[in-house]
Structures are given as C-alpha cells and as structure tokens.
C-alpha cells in the first residue's frame, strides 16, 4: 500500500480526492505530491489560469493531516518566480514545498564537483547562483526557448567536445504536442547529444 500519492492527472480527480475526507482505501496515505502545470493550472497567455476547483483542493489538502509537496518540470523560471505566479492565482504554497529540476541539478553538480556551462532560459539562471561556473566541465541544458540560438548551441557544443568524456545534463524532457506547438527542448538536447556523439565516434576511429 503506498504511503504517498503522486497526482499528475488533472484537478477534477484531485478535487474529488480532496472531497473524500481521506477515508477507506486512502487511510494509510501519509502525503501527497502534486504535479502543477495541467493539474493546478493550465498554461497560456499571461502565465495561465487555475483549473476549476484546484485552489480549493490544495486548501483542503493543506488543512488535512497529509504532507503536501509540489513537483514540476518547469525550467523557464526560478521557483521563486513560479511560486509567486501560483500565489497570484490564489494557491497556498511556498518555495520550500516545490521540487523542480534546477535545484535537483544543482545538488548533483555540487555532489560531483561539476562546474556547468548553462544553456538555459535567462529567468532560470539565478537557480545556479551558488554554483561555480568558471572553467566548466559539463553542460546543463533546459527549456531555453529563444536562447536556443545557433551560437548558443555551438558554444555548448564546443564546451562538450573540449572534454575527454563530455557530460551533458538535460533538465527535462517534454515533446511537442498540439497544446505546445513548438520545437521543444527535447529536440535541442538530442541535436546537441547527436553532434557530440558523431565527434566522439570520429575520434575513436
């Protein structure tokens, strides 16, 4: 029986669960981890809108005995900015309750003594303030959007092929779909990795 529920469906289901008063089969639950985009809010112009019922659902979960945490694959803003946006939508949450890719990457970088060359969105850069970025020995790529220029991609490429064993961290994956009709970070990660791979194969020949 799981003791933590991870909800990444949509807030209708979340709302129904919150309405349950946590009886019966969910009695043994100790905590809930909520996905955010598409669960709490829908992205869109001006940052998006809360999904009907979701603000109330989060409120009820907070009032319950359950531990509540939020999880997101957001890599275009710091948690501070992201949380402020959700607070403006009416959600009760704080930065320390939110788990996102950049702080996870920062932990790994520090653990392994790695210094990153960043190919990330400008608004994400402050998440890496505490990390030494001089003489980089790895590349961290996120959903850089406009920063995915030919020059920036090649700068990251040069850093990677300058290493004996290139190390590339991707902050996430998320393909294009009808609701996100852009060439996503995925493709750029694959593009960069493939180019580096070709160079490595050339070298080993």
Question: What residue ranges bind its own copies (CB under 8 A)?
Answer: 144-151, 153-154, 157-158, 161, 175-178, 181-184, 186-188, 190-192, 194-195, 198-199, 202-203
Please give the structure tokens belonging to residue 40. Answer: 């709490």
Number of H helices, E strands in the chain: 6, 9
Paired sense of beta strands 49-50 and 41-42, if any: antiparallel
Dihedral of CA 193/199/200/205: which sign?
A: positive
Q: Minimum Å distance from CB 145 to its own copies?
A: 6
Q: Give, to the nearest 10 degrees, the angle between helix 185-204 and helix 150-161.
A: 40
Q: Minimum Å distance from CB 85 to its own copies?
A: 22
Q: Which residue's CB is nearer to its own copies, number 65 or number 146?
A: 146
Q: Minimum Å distance from CB 45 to its own copies?
A: 17
Q: Which residue's CB is nearer to its own copies, number 19 or number 190?
A: 190
Sequence-ordered alpha helix ranges (H) in 43-184: 54-63, 79-88, 101-112, 150-161
Q: Which residue's CB is nearer to its own copies, number 3 or number 179?
A: 179
Q: Minimum Å distance from CB 71 to its own copies?
A: 24
Q: Minimum Å distance from CB 126 to its own copies?
A: 21
Q: Which residue's CB is nearer to its own copies, number 3 or number 151?
A: 151
Q: At 6, give phi and psi (nearest 5°).
A: -105, 115
Please give the structure tokens belonging to residue 163. Answer: 């290493």
Q: Which residue's CB is nearer to its own copies, number 93 or number 140?
A: 140
């Amino acid at each position: 029986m799981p003791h933590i529920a991870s909800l990444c469906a949509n807030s209708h289901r979340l709302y129904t669960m919150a309405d349950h008063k946590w009886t019966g089969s969910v009695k043994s639950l100790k905590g809930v981890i909520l996905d955010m985009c598409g669960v709490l809010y829908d992205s869109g112009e001006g940052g998006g809108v809360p999904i009907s019922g979701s603000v109330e659902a989060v409120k009820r979960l907070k009032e319950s005995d359950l531990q509540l945490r939020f999880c997101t694959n957001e890599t275009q803003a710091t948690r501070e900015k992201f949380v402020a946006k959700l607070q403006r939508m009416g959600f009760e949450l704080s930065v320390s309750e939110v788990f996102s890719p950049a702080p996870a990457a920062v932990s790994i970088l520090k653990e392994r003594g790695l210094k990153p060359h960043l190919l990330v969105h400008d608004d994400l850069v402050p998440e890496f303030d505490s990390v030494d970025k001089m003489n980089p020995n790895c590349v961290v790529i996120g959903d850089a959007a406009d920063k995915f220029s030919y020059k920036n991609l090649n700068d990251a490429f040069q850093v990677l092929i300058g290493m004996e064993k290139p190390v590339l961290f991707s902050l996430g994956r998320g393909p294009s779909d009808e609701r996100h009709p852009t060439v996503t970070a995925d493709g750029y990660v694959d593009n960069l990795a493939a180019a580096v791979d070709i160079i490595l194969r050339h070298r080993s020949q």
